Chain A
Amino acid sequence: MAVYEQTYRRYAGELTPERRRFLIPMRYAFREIFGSKLVLLLLILAGLVSVVLAVLIYLTHNLEALKALNISLDRLQVDNLFFESFVRVECGFAILLALVIGPGLIAPDLRNNALPLYFSRPFTRSEYVLSKLSMLLLLLSAITWMPGLLLFLLQAYLSGSAWTGAHFGLAWAIFAASLEWIVVLSLLTLAISAWVKWKPVARISLLAALYVFQGWAKAMDDILGTRWGAVVSVKELDSAIRSSLFDGPTPDGIPIPVAWVVLAATSLLCLAVLYRRIRAYEVVR
């Protein structure tokens, strides 16, 4: 119908497949997010870390280049610690990105009463959550395990099959440690965004959930002389799990299976919060 006709008509054309509809809000959100200079800056900085490490990996295998540049990388070992450090730094960027993007994913929809508009269509609560979660996971994957695996592949390519065979577990550690953190972080961010309607308050709440509880965990351990303080801090739990995945030291920490269980429980709790809050209308009983 041409605009000039200005009358109502029913739509009789083809429809898109239902199972792909969760990608629609994601597509719109991406466009909005990439319009933010702060997000672009964080993505560039996170990307720079990967580029710098890729250059270092290349230099460690290229003595001529080292000589030409007159630098020494004798103390640099591309090993577990190298990749663990990379994952730790990139997970730090993931926190910053989550702080910038996360609170704007659900809170504005709640504040502006947009959920009835979504759910009055053939679009479910699960698809809504999946859409928001996928968006965060995709973005955070792009700065964590994806470049991490590319670095691993570069190192494997330059070092040959012997190194690759001996360190194959590193690829799994990069993937698992990154994914564990970005899943927990994304769910926590979404749950807080769904709980708190105002973006600044949601940001402060997320910071508190990450760092106040970390401080509390350490204080509990120090004051009570226990090793169980970490159960209240997702950051401490993540740290313990990451260390174990990279075969790092886990002295007197919380048992790793317990850390996994607590993180899984935290994730389920976040999903429960999302299920409770993501409704077309709040029912007052």
Chain B
Amino acid sequence: MSSEPNEPPNEPKAVIELQGLAVQFGQRPILKGLDATLKGRAIGLLGPNGAGKTTLLHTLLGFHPPSAGTARIFGKDIRTEAREIRSLMGYMPENDSFIAGMSGVRFVRMMAELSGLPPEHAMERAHEALFYVGLGEARYRPVGTYSLGMKQLAKLAQALAHGPRVLFLDEPTNGLDPPARERMLELIRDIRDTGEVHVVLSSHLLRDVEECCEEVLVLKEGRVAVYADLALERQANRQLLEIETYSAGEGDDAWFAEAAERLGCELAWGSRQRLKLVLPEGVEVRDLYRLAAERQVQIRHLASKRDSLEDIFLKAMEDSHGGV
């Protein structure tokens, strides 16, 4: 791990601020006035195909000019400070992208040099980046001869080599087999956990985002469908329990529910006579077991339930007028 400070002093808190950001291709609107403030270490961009995820990334990279509004990355405006912004970024495109005829190490070195690294540093970091992503042994082979999984890793290496502050990953697990996918997600989590870089992960795969991100922006038809702070959601829902009880005595289930209510739990009966409980502060699961023991009520099922990203995503897809 590096000894560098995690954040330079005076760094704005927001990583990405979208301020009414709109983009259109010809007469066709693609992004329709996006507003959001993203601060997380790992930010997920979710949405079905055609939702505008890639266009949003491209706009932040300065590939498409906004037709209205703007966006800021670390406080820098994409309209006026595109070059400065790009010097802070690493980008891993969705599709196959490489320079023909170059070995892995030359390719990554050249990309690092284009980001401003002097040749000797670029060479050193190209080797490091390729070892880091697991292509150390293949670094002298031409990139064109790499397998799909290796090309994905080479793209990640070139995005990392110059040491960016924000890393844009566009569908990084596309076309990968399960072990390669797991390896890619492991790398993304590792990069995130260094605390040295903010990761923006665009994907249509909920599991990828759920496993790597703490903040999610769900896009639908060019609009923000929902924004979710997954870390907060997980914390807020931690005390939601689902319980199934059984008792020989008549009325003991109802007594248990009333007793739990007296402890301060919010409760509701769910399907299949399952009780949904929200534990108040200071009440633990063991208190419920104690209550159950008093009347010999058996707790046959107890699950800590939370809104999964899938729930959030599906809810967002149902509500076409959602927003942050």
Interface residues of A (CB under 8 A from B): 1, 3, 6-16, 18, 21, 24-25, 28, 32, 108-109, 111-114, 116-124, 279-281, 283-285
Contacts and interface: CB of A to CB of B under 8 A. Distances in A.
A13 B89 contact: no
Interface string B151-178: 0000000101011110010000000000
B207 interface: no
Contacts of A112: 96-100, 144
Nearest to B158: A117
B74 interface: no
Contacts of B25: 283-285
Contact of B83 (A108, A111, A122): A122
Nearest to B111: A117
Interface stretch (B112-120, B271-279, B304-312): B112-120
A117 B92 CA distance: 8
B194 interface: yes
A119 B83 CA distance: 10
Interface residues of B, number: 57
Given A120-B86, A284-B25, A285-B26, A12 B4 contact: yes
A11 B110 contact: no
Contacts of A21: 113-114, 116
B116 A18 contact: yes
Contacts of B131: 3, 6
Nearest to A124: B83
B76 to A, nearest CB: 12
A3 B126 CA distance: 10
B190 interface: yes
Rank and list the top 6 A-B pairs by shortest CB-CB distance, nearest first.
Answer: A11-B163, A285-B26, A15-B116, A120-B91, A9-B2, A108-B100
Q: Taking chain A's interface residues, is the majority helix, strand, or loop, or is none over half, making it mixed? A: loop
30 contacts: A3-B127, A7-B190, A7-B194, A9-B2, A10-B2, A10-B163, A11-B162, A13-B121, A15-B118, A18-B83, A18-B116, A21-B116, A108-B100, A109-B99, A112-B99, A112-B144, A116-B63, A116-B91, A116-B93, A117-B93, A117-B98, A117-B99, A119-B62, A119-B63, A120-B61, A121-B111, A121-B114, A123-B114, A124-B83, A285-B26
Contact of A8 (B64, B87, B102, B132): B132
Given A113-B93, A122-B86, A280 B61 contact: yes
B128 interface: yes
A11 B125 contact: yes
A194 to B, nearest CB: 15
A122 B164 CA distance: 12
Given A114-B99, A118-B114, A285-B28, A12 B86 contact: no
B97 A114 contact: yes
A67 B110 CA distance: 57
A122 B116 contact: yes
A135 to B, nearest CB: 14
Nearest to A128: B114
B210 interface: no
Contact of A16 (B64, B98, B116): B116
A251 to B, nearest CB: 48
B194 A9 contact: yes
